[in-house]
Amino acid sequence: MKTHQYEVLIIGGGGAGLMAAIYASKGASTAVLSKLYPTRSHTGAAQGGVGAALGNAEEDRPDWHTYDTVKGSDYLGDQDAIKFMCDVAPEVVYELEHMGLPFSRNPDGTIAQRPFGGHTNNNTGKPVTRACYAADRTGHMILQTLYQQCVKNKVTFFDEYHVVDLITANGSAAGVIALELATGELHIFHGKTVIFATGGHGRVWEVTSNAYAYTGDGVAITLRRGIPAEDMEFFQFHPTGIYRMGILITEGVRGEGGVLLNNKGERFMDRYAPTVKDLASRDVVSRAMYLEMQDGLGINGNRYLYLDVTPETVNKYAALDGRTRPDGSAFRITAEEILSKLPDIIDFCHTYLGVDPVTQPMPVQPTAHYAMGGIPTNARTEVFIDEKDTIMPGLYAAGEVACVSVHGANRLGTNSLLDIVVFGKEAGLRAAEFSRGASFQPLPEDAADFSCEQFDRLRNGSGKEKAADIAKEMKEVMNDHVGVFRVEDGMAMALDKVRELKERYKEVRVGDQGDVYNTDLLNIWELSNLLDLAEVTAASALARKESRGAHARDDYQERDDKKWMKHTMAWLEDNEVELKYKPVTITDYKPKKRVY
Amino acid sequence: MKVKLKIFRYDPENDKKPHYDKFVVEAEPTDRILDLLEWIKDYQDGTISYRRSCAHGVCGSDAMRINGVNRLACKVLVKDVGTKVTVQPILGLPIEKDLIVDMEPFFDSYKSVMPYFVGGEENPQKEQLQSPEDRERFDDTTKCILCAACTTSCPSFWANGEYVGPAAMVNAHRFIFDSRDQAAAERLKVLNDQYGVYRCHTIFNCTDACPREIQVTQAIGDLKKAIATSRLD
């Protein structure tokens, strides 16, 4: 078996991984392992913007960003980490700009910013222009820019190397096992440090905005190595996915004045969030949409609503709201502005729906979008292995795979792109720093045994079960019962079902028995990750008897700070999930009722 | 409706030469070709191999030849191509397995044109200013997702793989016409070469193939003009 040695091993080539690579490679030998070509990573699908209080068009402050994020998190976010992220946001955005990122521009040449859900002027409570954007392609520009800088800095990449296990030795991270797609060979990567930047796991759910690749590999691997997963019950449903397909329609559409309408043509968000209306945070809007549909107000009785950004509708409601531009003039929008600010959204709607958003409303429904939970870390991206904040030396996690927690129970739009650049950078710096003072741990002799066993089982299963059937049943039950609204019986049923599916998974046999580009083998291996994360998600959700952020229960409708102001830490055992809890870090902002 | 697919197959471990397999899939007019491939892989033949990730045209994984033209499998619907569909790998890159080609030569060409920003500061206190007009000048070429649909549709590239190809030039354009960048002359020097701009014979296949609707041939024209005049206006 081939063995490679680098001081810093970065798993994942999206925004967090590439940002880590740029910084780590300045101070240590570094390799990036990605199961895709890095430019295929899901960062590229992010649309609306990256949050930073630049104040380019109107007054804004990092403190306001911090408070908005704390409030958005429904007070489950750790306030020290949130403050750190929001304080450094402007300098990191400037840094991206100096790496060449082509932001859209204001007439004065500064970076253009737009309003986004939950981001407010803390004095007036009104939406503030904080999302720094490049049309509706901000994630694409971040991913491309960071990859370009990696090319410039001659970063070492192992493209299409699928990491399947973490190696530890003497209680420290010591490397990873990776399968080379082109040959089917397993490789050992020996490292002083390992940074997981593998993204999320929206493919657990039936309707999702997430890429096929979003299968939770990082969290699943660390769970198998005895590391807990934090706050897994909190998974964000983005309000506006294309009906049935789940493809993301950016919140920037509402930032540009778009409104949600029900079957009566009524703009319903003012009943749920009187101040910011359609720009309330995502959990609030997704729930409002479900309630409208429950009341029979879906379009023609179907499970979708309209998102309308036609100039006629936008200008009508902007006038009703008395909405003004930052310079005080009345807010009005033209078809040309929509075309230039939301070109990709228009393209998606043309391609997949045959709808022209400049003249027609878009059919949308909530779509599984973002994991607030993940591998527990602190703001230095070091990984905790228990509820007492014990760190595993040499192990780091950043981006969606990690739970710092800066998003708590609900992430604000634009904070994911901020998270990946802030904590990706942090991870790269910390891992390089650690490497300077550390030596390589000896590799265990049996390092690759577990991976070999896993793949042997998949190649030699009985074949009585089909992986596709298991995946379909998992996605359906998770969508129906561990989705936007939850109740005890439904979640318990979902948990049983997932465990049954895990049993059935043991009877799966891979159809492709070859070695070269065996995507069948890896897709089916990824399904095991999704099943594990579905189990941990359902178990964590079932235990939390309150409603907070994205975890909304019909049977416990209120937030319960006395009993539940705490982070869930979940360990995956054989057919069991062990749950422990740890306190939330609260500094400046005492919990209060969350109203938009 | 029933869709008949004819799919290019090559398994280097078992096949001496490529062949085609036929499949019939029950589909909706609004299904993506990628949805059909997924269904075949899930229920008819797990060995069929291709790349895919985002499934909505932004990651660039699934460029293929669909009924003879380069498209992303996730951006073509059944209603766009009808009920008889032939799927082949993109042309001009070595075939690894079925619809998967070796992307390394493509990325090597990309890397040869300095596809990265030159300029900027280490610890900036503010952004570099750029007018909306200057930003607009290179907007079209910022959209590239490196799917290779353009380069592998180009007869000049088919004829000689040393040609840097349309995608690399799109990425050179993105920086050369960025008012903030400081390395335009060096990039133009790379492209002022027998394997650079002169191999473009304005056939426009690339422009037709681009799933992001980048005016690729126009961008290459801008580069030719810049080389000829030593000016960027």
CA distance A45 to chain B (A): 6
Which overall architecture, per CATH, does domain A240-367 show?
Alpha-Beta Complex (3.90)
Contact B117 A42 (CB under 8 A): no
- Quote ipTM for the complex: 0.98
CATH number of A1-234+372-442+566-596: 3.50.50.60
Same domain, B223 and B183: yes
Same domain, B10 and B124: no
CA distance A91 to chain B (A): 7
Nearest CB partner across the interface for B132, out of A105, A351, A520: A105
* pLDDT at residue number A520: 97
Q: Active site residue: A130, A267, A282, A430, which one? A: A282
Which tens digit of pLDDT belongs to each residue from A474-498?
999 999 999 999 999 999 999 999 9
Domain ranges of chain A: 1-234+372-442+566-596, 240-367, 449-565
Q: CA A147, CA A145: separation in Å to the nearest integer?
A: 5
Which overall architecture, per CATH, does domain A449-565 show?
Up-down Bundle (1.20)
Q: Check whether A574 has a pLDDT greater than 90.
A: no
Asked about A282 being catalytic, the answer comes back as yes
What is the band of B57 on the pLDDT scale with cuts at 50, 70, 90?
very high
Same domain, B169 and B80: no
Q: CA B188, CA B191: separation in Å to the nearest integer?
A: 5
Determine contact: A109 vs chain B, CB below 8 A: yes
Domain end position, chosen among B81, B101, B121: B101
Q: CA A590, CA A230: separation in Å to the nearest integer?
A: 22
Same domain, B42 and B115: no
Same domain, B114 and B74: no
Share of chain A above pLDDT 70, in %: 100
Checking A518-524 for CB contacts under 8 A at 24+ apart, the result is A518/A181, A518/A184, A518/B49, A519/A181, A519/B41, A519/B49, A519/B50, A519/B51, A520/B41, A520/B46, A520/B47, A520/B49, A521/A184, A521/A455, A521/A458, A521/A459, A522/A35, A522/A162, A522/A179, A522/A181, A523/A467, A523/B41, A524/A458, A524/A467
Q: CA B116, CA A269: separation in Å to the nearest integer?
A: 44
What is the band of A325 on the pLDDT scale with cuts at 50, 70, 90?
confident
What is the band of A326 on the pLDDT scale with cuts at 50, 70, 90?
confident
CA distance A320 to chain B (A): 30
Contact A45 B115 (CB under 8 A): no
What is the band of A340 on the pLDDT scale with cuts at 50, 70, 90?
very high
Nearest CB partner across the interface for B124, out of A94, A100, A348: A94
Contact A94 B45 (CB under 8 A): no
Question: Which domain, by its residues, includes B12?
Answer: 2-101
Contacts of B6 (CB under 8 A, 6+ apart): B20, B21, B22, B84, B85, B86, B87
Look at residues A104, A542, A29, A20 and name the one whose alpha carbon lies nearest to residue A341.
Answer: A104
Pure H helices in A295-356? 311-321, 335-341, 343-348
Same domain, B75 and B121: no
Domain end position, chosen among B47, B67, B101: B101
Q: CA A406, CA A380: separation in Å to the nearest integer?
A: 12
* pLDDT at residue number B231: 87
Contact A211 B59 (CB under 8 A): yes
Nearest CB partner across the interface for B116, out of A103, A148, A467: A148
Same domain, B81 and B144: no
Give the DSSP letter of residue A353: I
Which tens digit of pLDDT belongs to each residue from A359-393?
999 999 999 999 999 999 999 999 999 999 999 99
Same domain, B55 and B72: yes
* pLDDT at residue number B233: 75
Which tens digit of pLDDT belongs to each residue from A295-305?
999 999 999 99
- The 10 Å CB-count burial string (b at 16+, else e) for A34-44 is bbbbbbbbbbb
Domain end position, chosen among B79, B101, B123: B101
Q: How many structural domains compose chain B?
A: 2
Which tens digit of pLDDT belongs to each residue from A260-298?
999 999 999 999 999 999 999 999 999 999 999 999 999
Same domain, B74 and B145: no
What the block records as the tokens of A595 is 């109203």
